[in-house]
Amino acid sequence: MGPRPDLPPFPNGWFVFGFSDELKPGKLLARPFMGCEVTVFRAQSGQAYAVDSYCPHLGAHFGSGGEVRGENLECGFHGFQFNGQGTCVRTGYGIPIPARAKLRTWPLRETDGLLLVHHHAKGEAPAWEVPSVGADGWTRLIHRSFVLDDHPQRTTENSVDLGHFAFGHKYRNPHMLRALKEFEANGPHLSTVYAVRRALRIFGLELTEYDFELETQIYGLGYSLVDVRVPLFRVTARLWVLPTSIDAERMTLRLALRVKKWDSALGAFASSLVARAILSGFVHDVGQDFPLWEHKHYTESPALGDGLAGKYRQWAKQFYR
């Protein structure tokens, strides 16, 4: 799949660069991000920073030989060191620090086990934040990542596309899926609530049906949080869908999950097992959309007049200004 002329490739907002458990103190992650090369490093104090991956001295890449030295990032080519604010604090030769030895930094927030980096095409500071939902009483964050030929706007659109569940995910009976609240937009925030009914099958036998609710909180085009409540099993799960553009053709889709712990002697252990099972099902369900997303052509004005898609696309335009 070639470059997509249908959508600007790099929307503005907060996007997940990686997960906290990938970045130990004294380590770095160097990855392509929004058409750029970005390095996130964690100082020995524990604070994480995001900077350009190319040293302003002679252009060496921090991902190739770069190291964290205390609170600073050191270039592996000539030993220039930079702090988290991009200021050069040491040269490799012991000479005075050049006035132009300044490293570009990126706004970074670490919350709920996510490393969020802010992108803006004009370099503007963040105008809004992704709120923290907390981790107390929940299992540890578990996650999976996939690289797709796609765009964050097109994958996030699934959250308001009720119709695709009937065919892409086989919820064809009207009673199986219904909107409890149509999407509600407020600035960069969008929310929806759905009720779902699903068959409980064991060894291929359908035993009963059970109901659950999906409440989605979306902040920009790179962060979707879905709270899933299943009263029959006393399970509450928290799912994240996190698309981030790599370049003009590809994106990384990260899926993450926590489960609310049960109050019992075996609650923590049992909850962890349930979390792994739910993540497996989550990956399976989202994976059903992969081929549809990758071969889909973006239509600015749907020919059949899909009202929700049209409203969503109007909302999404704010992230390209």
| Structure token digits, residue 140 | 């540890």
Q: Is the dihedral of CA 77, 81, 86, 89 positive or negative?
A: negative
User: Nearest-5° angle of CA 225, CA 231, CA 235?
Assistant: 55
Per-residue pLDDT, averaged over 225-231, amounts to 91
Report the alpha-carbon distance of residue 254 to residue 304 in Å, rounded: 32
Of 166-170, 182-186, 222-226, the one with minimum mean pLDDT is 166-170
Domain limits, the chain: 20-119, 142-320
Q: Per CATH, which fold does 20-119 belong to? A: Rieske Iron-sulfur Protein (2.102.10)
Kindly state which CATH superfamily the domain 142-320 is placed in.
Answer: Naphthalene 1,2-dioxygenase Alpha Subunit; Chain A, domain 1 (3.90.380.10)
- Does the pTM surpass 0.75? The reply is yes
Amino acid found at 189: H
Per-residue DSSP letters for 172-195?
Answer: -SGGGEEEEEEEEEETTEEEEEEE
HSE value, Cβ hemisphere, 13 Å, CA-based, for 207? 6
Reported as a single tens digit per residue, the pLDDT across 70-126 is: 999 999 999 999 999 999 999 988 888 988 889 999 999 999 999 999 999 999 999
Taking the mean position of all CA atoms in its chain, how far away is CA 19?
9
Report the alpha-carbon distance of residue 152 to residue 242 in Å, rounded: 8
Reported as a single tens digit per residue, the pLDDT across 244-287 is: 999 999 999 999 999 999 877 667 788 999 899 989 988 988 88
